[in-house]
Chains A and B, each alone.
Chain A
Amino acid sequence: MSFPWAKNYEPQQPLMKWLDEKLPLPRLVYNAVGAGYPVPRNLNYFWNFGVLAGAALAIQIITGIVLAMHYAANAGVAFNSVEHIMRDVNAGWFIRYAHMNGASMFFIVVYLHIFRGLYYGSYKAPREMVWLLGVVIFLLMMATAFMGYVLPWGQMSFWGAQVITGFFSAIPMVGEPIRQWLLGGFAPDNAALNRFFSLHYLLPFVIAGVIILHIWALHIPGSSNPTGIEVKDEQDTVPFHPYYTAKDGFGLGVFLFVFAALTFFTPNLLGHADNYIAANPLSTPAHIVPEWYFWPFYAILRAFTFNFLWIDAKLWGVIAMFAAIALLFFLPWLDSSPVKSSTYRPLNRIFFWILVVDVLILGYCGKSPAEQPYVILSQLGSIYYFAHFLIILPIISRIERPLPMPNSITEAVLAKHADDKSAATA
């Protein structure tokens, strides 16, 4: 632990002493999420979402393992085996709806986690590695979610697989052979379904592994905080346990409440009706739409409608869609402002909120059919998206004049309380 005042683990119980000597697992827990991890005292509720994302992954893995006991990954019976789970397996409807909506809840908390990082500059030195590993997790999540959506072998599963694997055919010369190699055929069929199932079962454990690295990298500098000022001494911090275990426990309760309301009351709200029709390669749905968490990227993909230079529009779309995520890898170096938190960055704050609105608009366009006004909206939205990260952010991080900042976390906390008090007496 890099903080000099981080406590050393000193086991009291004989059993723990014995265990700690042989395998310092208690020590690891103590320093990772116990009283031996000092955390800034001023974290707000937006710092709950990392733990919630971990909880969402755990729920996905547990429900997923149970589903895999009843599901059959064969193009002939996959659709009916999901309905068998819904109808004949004890509480199967609950497990399946929880897994289906669990994916959405996972993305909701991860998007909030990412935007928290964007607003408070969590990607900046010394936490670049935390951010880079986070982007890797995000990419793995997208791959896992996509392959999971194919497994029920409904119409959207099949045609979604058709569209997404079609991205690879945009690669010049070798695209079509690559696509056929990935699918194990000319179109999604049993071979593709089987390998997607295998990978869908594998990747969550890879995600869990990268999460361990993500948390490890976080524990070197310690958590960031809403002021963006680094911890200076012990009074800036509280021990993770019990302070943040208690706060995360409350956050987990709220998360589970929303999750349960969605799962039990409107389980199909975020799904698509066409996926209750069994896959049919001979009948294309009127609108092929991915799951909601891909909508902004789907809008970027479809925004490119012009063969510019020697690259055709389809390839532009595919490149842009991947670039939209890949540019996040460069964010720590695109934004050169030494100030982390947007609380003290008046310009960045404005553009951050424009970005939020922009991504919401892109999401709405990704959901909508490819007709006007959605086409031009997604084109304008994509322009802003790329301009924001690649042009606006590097410029404002140079010209912006940050607001005056407190000297330490404790000073910021005490100033806030003094304000509250004077407001209360006035």
Chain B
Amino acid sequence: MVRPLGFLVGLGFIAALVLAILTTPLKNEPNAAHEIHKHPRHLALTSDGLFPHWDKAQLQRGMQVYKEVCSACHSLNLVAFRNIADFGYSEGQVKSFAKSYDTIPSINPDTGEPATRTGLPSDHFPSPYPNEVAARAANNNALPPDLSLITKAREGGKDYVYSLLTGYQNPPKDLPKELQPGTGLHYNPYFANLNLAMAKPLNDGQVTFADGSKNDVEHMARDVTAFLVWTAEPNLVKRVWTGWAVLLFIAMFTTLTYLSYRNIWADKKH
């Protein structure tokens, strides 16, 4: 019974599929944006690969770019001030960095009224807007995303973020009309829709680094991307090096199990 019934069921599915093939157009609808859209350019960082380390000076510069430029619109909700000790700041420096923020939401202990206070190392980076409505109101109805996870939350990761930051340009002359940036939008071929609400954020010389590093768009973009790789996964370097220790241990374990396997089976043909 199973086989004849199965045969009929099989023919049913196949008939439905053959009809589906015959009725599905073989050509995709043309998608001009898809063709103009560019794949991100690669950005090499010291935190890449199997032997990573953090370039602490670069992370410090990247944080400065975030603080002076990006933080005007973008929050960094998941990162606490205490975390920046990772790239070489002393306890005192972390404290005074936290203190430089004086808009941490709080409650007046005497009156119970909403108030603000200066930051503590345990506070997270404050959001530039009190809520989503305020953020949209200030940005032409676009919502600037939180940047904590941005290098993990986009296809292409850090390469995408870096390409986007350096990819602003004038639209090509032959760009189809429907793809040209509308009001309040800006052309960037690395963005999936080609036009995004964020204006070109970085300009040459915008940030002055204490260590005298280059501050053109290219270098600032690299530094802030490196910083955002760290914010997305502060444990990245530790993870890879822990991995080496674990693999070494497992390799020794596996060698021993292999030898005992060979030893036990030595007299058995199999």
Contacts and interface: CB of A to CB of B under 8 A. Distances in A.
A408 interface: no
B18 to A, nearest CB: 7
Interface of A: 41-43, 80, 83, 86-87, 93-94, 97, 238, 242-243, 246-247, 249-250, 252-254, 256-257, 260-261, 263-265, 267-268, 273-274, 276-277, 286, 303-306, 308, 313, 316, 320, 323, 327, 330, 333-334, 336, 371-373, 375-376, 379-380, 382-383, 386-387, 389-391, 394, 413-414, 417
A53 B8 CA distance: 35
A41 B257 contact: no
A41 B270 contact: yes
A422 to B, nearest CB: 15
Given A273-B154, A330-B2, A390-B10, A376 B247 contact: no
Contact of A305 (B15, B24, B148, B235): B24
Interface residues of B, number: 59
Given A372-B26, A372-B27, A413-B269, A306 B20 contact: yes
B3 A334 contact: yes
Contacts of B13: 320, 323, 382-383, 386, 390
Interface of B: 2-3, 6-7, 9-11, 13-21, 23-28, 50, 77-78, 83, 145, 148-149, 152-155, 157, 192, 232-235, 239-240, 242-244, 246-247, 250-251, 253-254, 257-258, 260-261, 264-265, 268-270
Contacts, number: 170
Contacts of A387: 10, 14
Contacts of A252: 257
A257 B154 CA distance: 29
Contact of B261 (A87, A249, A305): A249
Nearest to B148: A83
Contacts of B26: 372-373, 376
Contact of A372 (B28, B50, B235): B28
B192 to A, nearest CB: 7
A246 B3 contact: no
B247 A253 contact: no
A263 B115 CA distance: 44
Given A238-B268, A313-B20, A390 B6 contact: yes
B250 A304 contact: no
7 contacts: A246-B261, A247-B261, A250-B254, A273-B157, A313-B20, A320-B16, A383-B13
